[in-house]
């Protein structure tokens, strides 16, 4: 996904619905959106724009068109996070992580999960170094 196709906030809300529900009609997406005051035609227009950006795919074989996310949630998160890391943190992963942890306190369980992930990454790097050695 090129940088120009990073989803906007509204597009991300639609993607979240599709990632959770799977393939859906515009009406189904509109009903799932938290902002109930968003009209059907607004959601339809956004989804058409997202289709042209390559963020969605559409099945036109039925009377009601069915849309699905054309980008995986993980790939979209990775792209947005990488963009944020580069633009705001000068490419520094540690600065991004430290800022995230200082701004939004993590629970004890979250911190233990983060520690376990860090331990795994350190073990992996250690094995890679030994393999080169």
Give yes or no for residue 127 having a pLDDT over 80: yes
Predicted local distance difference test score (pLDDT) of residue 30: 95
Give yes or no for residue 5 having a pLDDT over 70: no
Residue 9's domain spans which residues? 3-69
Has residue 104 been placed in a domain? no
Cβ neighbours, 10 Å, residue 26: 21
Has residue 83 been placed in a domain? no
CATH of the domain at 35: 1.10.10.10
pLDDT digits (tens, 9 = 90+) for 37-71: 889 999 999 999 999 999 999 999 988 899 999 99
Has residue 80 been placed in a domain? no
Has residue 82 been placed in a domain? no
Has residue 41 been placed in a domain? yes
Total structural domains within the chain: 1
Please check whether residue 11 is in contact with residue 46, taking contact to mean a CB–CB distance below 8 angstroms.
Answer: yes
Instruction: Compute the half-sphere exposure of residue 63: CA atoms within 13 Å on the CB side of its CA.
Output: 0
Has residue 65 been placed in a domain? yes
Query: Pick from 66, 93, 63, 68: which is nearest to 17 by CA?
Result: 68
The whole-angstrom distance between residue 33's C-alpha and the CA centroid of its chain comes to: 16
Cα 78 from Cα 92, distance rounded (Å) = 15
Has residue 11 been placed in a domain? yes
Predicted local distance difference test score (pLDDT) of residue 2: 47
Q: Does the global pTM surpass 0.85?
A: no
């Amino acid at each position: 996904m090129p940088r120009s196709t990073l989803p906007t906030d509204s597009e991300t809300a639609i993607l979240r619905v599709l990632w959770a529900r799977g393939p859906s009609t515009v009406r189904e997406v509109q009903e799932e959106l938290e902002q109930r005051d968003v009209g059907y035609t607004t959601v339809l227009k956004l989804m058409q724009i997202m289709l042209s950006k390559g963020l969605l795919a559409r099945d036109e074989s039925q009377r009601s068109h069915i849309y699905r996310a054309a980008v995986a949630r993980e790939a979209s998160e990775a792209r947005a996070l990488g963009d944020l890391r580069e633009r705001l943190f000068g490419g520094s992963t540690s600065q991004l992580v430290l800022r995230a942890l200082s701004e939004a306190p993590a629970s004890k369980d979250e911190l233990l999960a983060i520690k376990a992930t860090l331990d795994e990454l350190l073990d992996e790097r250690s094995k890679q170094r030994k393999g080169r050695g």
